[in-house]
Amino acid sequence: MTFVWPEMLWLLLLVPLLAALYVWLLRRRKKVSVQYSNLALVKQAMAKQPVWRRHVPPALMLIALAAMLFAAARPMMTIQLPSNKQTIMLAMDVSGSMRAKDVEPTRLVAAQTAAKAFLAELPRHVRVGIVAFAGSAQLAQLPTLSREDLNTAIDSFQLQRGTATGNGIALSLATLFPDDGIDISAMQWGGSGPLPRARPLGETAKETTKREPVAPGSYTSAAIIMLTDGQRTTGIDPMEAAKMAADRGVRVYTVGVGTVNGETIGFDGWSMRVRLDEETLKQIANRTSAEYYYAGTAADLKKVYESLSSRLGVEKRETEVSAIVSLIAAAFALLSAALSVAWFGRIT
């Protein structure tokens, strides 16, 4: 815990001084009571109430005072709060290898089911967009709050040839930063062409030319989740696309679905060996200050998305908690006054 005004903590020394003053007043009152001509009447009056009751309201008021003085120092704590991430892009692999059945019933169906469960768990204020990529990347759904439209887009996936993981990331970025001029068609195999400078969503292109790349993971208004099962076979270099994301501070969480050893699948007269390229997915996540998740089964995939929904739903931030401490102080003060009125008919 840190404090904005730590020098105010010196005021807490008033609390033990006030406690000492209270004890002194009690002793002084005892001396005065001895001067009464009829000591029996005093004892009889005191016997009507338990002795400990008269100390409770002052003790609670002292606690309230200590809490108020503590709040004056403006304490800061790292706590979990609702996430600032307002937009999440789901980049999902729809290449032919997603028909493999090592994840039941197939990799694609398991991914679709888990993605829809993920959407159901996300806070309703979070906008979600969907990019489907195979040999090329396509925007399946613009960022929206409508979970129905998102589910419809997920159900409409059609398998295609090729795996352009880099294009999936680049198109997700182009959707998040529409004014950055990210032209995927101009990017060549193994490269990314000229990279536009990083710029938060909503600023003009004129402002963009003066902005330097930001720290990886520092942009808290958006994130990308990429799910894929295979190696890149076409499109731009995924590590160059990851650099584009890192320069904009956008985290790219990668999810690998399928088995590392892979399997041989056949369709339309073709036969090929498909396996999971975990190393590249880990590098993408590390480059953007995100995390890689492995999902070898449908149950694993569901758990991954559950973990991501909870992780993206809240985040840890250093926040001033003086308001909370002040509320606690007010509660103790009110309790002190209420008990005093209930027990003694007045605020003592």
pLDDT tens by residue, the chain, 348 residues: 788 888 888 888 888 888 888 788 877 776 655 555 555 555 555 555 667 777 788 888 889 989 988 888 888 887 666 555 578 999 999 988 888 887 888 889 989 998 998 898 888 888 999 999 998 899 999 999 999 999 999 999 999 888 899 999 999 999 999 888 887 776 655 444 444 444 444 444 444 444 478 999 888 888 999 999 878 888 899 999 999 999 999 999 999 987 766 566 655 556 565 678 889 999 999 999 999 998 877 788 878 877 777 666 555 666 788 888 889 989 998 988 888 878 777 776
Domain boundaries, the chain: 2-78+319-344, 83-296
Left if phi > 0, otherwise alpha if psi is -120 to 50, otherwise beta: which for 269? left
Separation CA 28–CA 22 (nearest Å): 10
338 to 15, 36, 230, 247, 343: CA distances (angstroms): 21, 31, 67, 58, 9
β-strands 75-82, 314-320 pairing: antiparallel
Assigned CATH for 83-296: 3.40.50.410
Pure H helices in the chain: 14-33, 39-47, 56-72, 107-121, 147-155, 165-176, 205-208, 238-247, 278-287, 298-313, 322-344
User: Cα separation of 333 and 318, whole Å?
Assistant: 28
